Amino acid sequence: MTSPYAFGGKVAVVTGASRGIGLAVAEGFVAAGARVCVTARDADGLARATARLGDAVGLAGTVADPAHLRRLTELAMDEYGRIDVVVNNAATNQPYGPLMDADPDRWREAFTVNVEAPLRLVQHAWRAWMRAHGGSVVNICTEGATHVGPHLGAYGTSKAALLHLTRQLAGELAPGVRVNAVSPGLVRTEMARFVWDRADQESATGLPLGRLGEPGDIAGAVLWLTSDAAKWITGTDLLVDGGTRVRAAHAPKSAPLQDGNYHLPGA
């Protein structure tokens, strides 16, 4: 794998990196010369991912645990001595279903994982390295954060909050640290399998670009946003959806994807 971007000597911390988008992002950074510190809940999956990545260290655990995020930051600093990039990819899509049936405690967990954890990790990276040396943050959001859809109210609402947090941090941490979001459409990850596994090929070709997304599509966007090629960009949300929002003008012959307005990162 080759990369058009140069990250030699830099260090990236990526959450939810044992599979799917997180792993693709970590692989992209390694291909571009960076060293990576990765985390995920699945210890075995993370061990396999770390071995596959090569120049990487990993720490298994949940981003919902504040102590885990502190240890993750300490690991990156102890092993590599710096943190140039943070990618907040880990997420939960629970509770799934109508909000009138949602357990308020499960609702709170969605915000703990999808909003609070990204803030905590950026705080740690800022205090450990970025305040003095600068850096870049990308939060993985979702194309569905700007409108409503069935069964994923907690996920969509928490990701909408993450979008606002992205803009708020961009304003507060400038000019030294750039903070942006990438909002995917429907991507073939395990976490989103319940959506794309039932989406037939006719529906997929109803998108202007003719296919569903792959993890590498999102990784490419993340690498671009964190590279010097995007050094005058902060506080933005980069939509990577295969043309979901313009398919009405595209006039597809097939029915639109059901639940296709949501990306569920492979945490």
List residues with catalytic annotation: 155
Helix-then-strand count for the chain, H and E: 11, 7
Cα–Cα distance for residue pair 87/261, rounded to 1 Å? 22
Cα–Cα distance for residue pair 60/88, rounded to 1 Å? 15
Q: Are strands 135-140 and 85-88 parallel, antiparallel or unpaired?
A: parallel
Give the three-state DSSP class for 168: helix
Return the HEC string of 209-220: CCCCECHHHHHH
Asked if 263 contacts 187 with a C-beta cutoff of 8 angstroms, the reply is yes
What is the secondary structure of 171-201 as a DSSP string? HHHTTTEEEEEEEE-SB--STTHHHHTT--H
Q: Using the 8-state DSSP alphabet, how is residue 241 labeled?
A: S
